[in-house]
Structure 1
Amino acid sequence: MSYSKSDISILISTMNRSDFSFLSAMFPHHEWRDLNLVIVNQTKKGKELKSNLENIIVVNSYEIGLSKSRNLALKNSRTTYGVIADDDVVYESDCMVFFLNAIQQKPELALYAFKSCDFNNRDRKNYPNSIFNFSLPLKKFKPSSIEIMLNIDLVKNKNLKFDEDFGLGAYYPVGEEEVFLIDLLKVDLNAIFFPKIVVKHLQESSRTKVKDYDFLKTQLILYYLNNGWIVNIWLYKYLFYIWRKRLQPRSEILQIYTIMSAELRKFKSSR
């Protein structure tokens, strides 16, 4: 079976847009009007974005939260495959070639992960040098949302969604893609990394934009979801590291442990 770009949608999360001018910056090597786009615009009533093109689906939402936006995009997509996107990325000229080659090579996958680089063409993280199969527990390398393409049909068949407790605008402000990948692997779907650069983005991650407490509680829960009870050992080691490096006043270490333990108990009781 052969595939074409008509089988792929770009699923874009954005906010407060009233026109499509931002798309030219995202697709400098493509005519964006010829692409299948699903744009979720989180906005206010009276400031909606509208599309007159059949291949460009716009969903105006009056809620906030990145995972909520991702889920609306998946729900409204009409194609088999969907590329997760933010409105501040820039797609490489050969991205569609790499997407289609990956599908042709491994049509049975539910998740395809690729590389991204910064605007100086440097890799944004340490990537494997060759094709890499994801398995549980996840190792050091984990893909960012903007590096992911999904087989939407397989995802919907398993009722998979982005966990709306994670991601910008949620209680745990990062990690939505990691939780999604863990959930996907737990239901025996397959995911593979392909060492091809498809998109550019700033080197900075949203993980650096959240305050320390939010970062720590989120990392704690992500580690628990990925590794189970070993999270207790991780927390002891992390607090010892903070204590040894004097990153927090030593008098506050016990308080941090108490707060993090309560966070873990609260999360466990909610699931």
Structure 2
Amino acid sequence: MIKEFKKGDLEIVLSTMDRDSLDFLIPMFSFSHFSNFSILIINQTQPDKLLVSNYPSIRIVNSFEKGLSKSRNTGFKNAKGEIILIADDDEVFKEDFENTILEAHNKYQEAQSICFAIDDFSGFLFKKYPSTAKTRLSFLDISNILSIEISFKKAALDQLNIKFDTNFGIGSPFAMGEEAIFLSDWRKQKQSVIIVPKVIASHSRFSTDNKLNFKQRYYVQGAFLTRISKYGYYKGVFLKLFFDLKQNKVKLNQLFAAIKSANKGKLDFIQMQK
């Protein structure tokens, strides 16, 4: 019997830090009170600065670990919703986001993970999305998906024991790439990951990638490509170089340094696994 998802089946798993009040949720849900939604907040904090909730729909886990991927995993472990949406504490949800997500999961029942679209606070799409739902994703598609675009079925996650790789993400040895690894792990286990290009939230255009210089980016890329080696390390590095050259993100005289940084990231990741 096919499960029909309905309001109440979606849970937002939200990562934040050092909060002692729920007031940060108010601008995130400008169209409704936040207590109208099921939200699990992972608050990475100190023992003397705990976040509490007086709302049954808002659950809190105060965590004393650091690292965004660790926060995500703590959220997945404690989540109760049938459909999970990954969230950050600085996005603003669209009024119809919940219906959009539930309708997509009802329409594409075979998909274990559905990724949506976001825009910036000026109303411009964050990136180029497919014009219609895309059910066969390429490596480049997977690599460009952001955490806050991702939803998935909790039962499948638990059954397959899929988690964020804590070596990747903010506060980890390799500061990016955790989303693509997470989704690649779904696909390695023959699970359907699709994109439904409907906007569910707005977010600023600031990103971790913008904070890293080209050597740091390629250092992470080397580790990332080694982690998902199915796609070929050297092929991935040269594809990255090709697109970065095309978009003027690296210059010709930086190519050797970029490859050297990628190789260092590869070797450091291999050593870390030992």
Q: Same fold (TM over 0.5)?
A: yes
Partner of 1:232: 234
Q: d(CA) in 1 for partners of 2:142 and 2:53?
A: 41
- SS of 2:217's partner is helix
Partner of 1:33: 35
Partner of 2:155: 153
Confirm or deny: 8 A CA contact 2:176 2:209 kept in the other structure. Answer: yes
Structure 1 residue 56 corresponds to structure 2 residue 55 = no
Partner of 1:171: 173
Write the mapping of 1:120-159 to structure 2, written as runs, cut at 5 A. 120-135=122-137, 137-139=139-141, 142-159=144-161
Q: Shift of residue 19 of structure 1?
A: 0.5
CA deviations on 1:99-145 (whole Å, 9 max, x unpaired) are: 11111112332211111000111000010001112446444763211
Q: Shift of residue 235 of structure 1?
A: 3.7
Partner of 1:91: 93
Structure 1 residue 10 corresponds to structure 2 residue 9 = no
Q: d(CA) in 2 for partners of 1:39 and 1:242?
A: 36
Q: Shift of residue 56 of structure 1?
A: 1.3
Question: 1:21/1:243 Cα in 2 relative to 1: closer, same or farther (>3 Å)?
Answer: closer
Alignment partner for residue 116 of structure 1, among 103, 118, 127? 118
Identify unmatched segments of 5+ residues in structure 2.
none
Question: 1:38/1:205 Cα in 2 relative to 1: closer, same or farther (>3 Å)?
Answer: same
CA deviations on 1:18-43 (whole Å, 9 max, x unpaired) are: 01001111111122112111000011
Confirm or deny: 8 A CA contact 1:41 1:58 kept in the other structure. Answer: yes
- SS of 1:3's partner is coil
Q: d(CA) in 2 for partners of 1:78 and 1:115?
A: 24
- SS of 2:22's partner is coil
Q: d(CA) in 1 for partners of 2:18 and 2:264?
A: 36
- SS of 1:132's partner is coil
TM-score (normalised: structure 2): 0.88
Confirm or deny: 8 A CA contact 1:132 1:192 kept in the other structure. Answer: yes
Partner of 1:208: 210
Partner of 1:190: 192
- SS of 1:110's partner is strand
Partner of 1:82: 84
Q: d(CA) in 2 for partners of 1:109 and 1:248?
A: 37
Q: Shift of residue 234 of structure 1?
A: 4.7
Identify unmatched segments of 5+ residues in structure 1.
none
- SS of 1:33's partner is helix
Confirm or deny: 8 A CA contact 2:11 2:38 kept in the other structure. Answer: yes
- SS of 1:116's partner is strand
Q: d(CA) in 1 for partners of 2:248 and 2:179?
A: 32
Q: Shift of residue 219 of structure 1?
A: 2.1
Question: Identity rate of aligned residues, in percent?
Answer: 29
TM-score (normalised: structure 1): 0.89
Structure 1 residue 266 corresponds to structure 2 residue 258 = no
Question: 1:43/1:235 Cα in 2 relative to 1: closer, same or farther (>3 Å)?
Answer: same
Partner of 1:219: 221
Q: d(CA) in 1 for partners of 2:126 and 2:181?
A: 20
- SS of 1:14's partner is strand
Amino acid at match of 1:80: E
Confirm or deny: 8 A CA contact 1:135 1:185 kept in the other structure. Answer: no
Question: 1:19/1:134 Cα in 2 relative to 1: closer, same or farther (>3 Å)?
Answer: farther
Confirm or deny: 8 A CA contact 2:216 2:261 kept in the other structure. Answer: no
Q: Shift of residue 210 of structure 1?
A: 2.6
Q: d(CA) in 1 for partners of 2:116 and 2:245?
A: 37
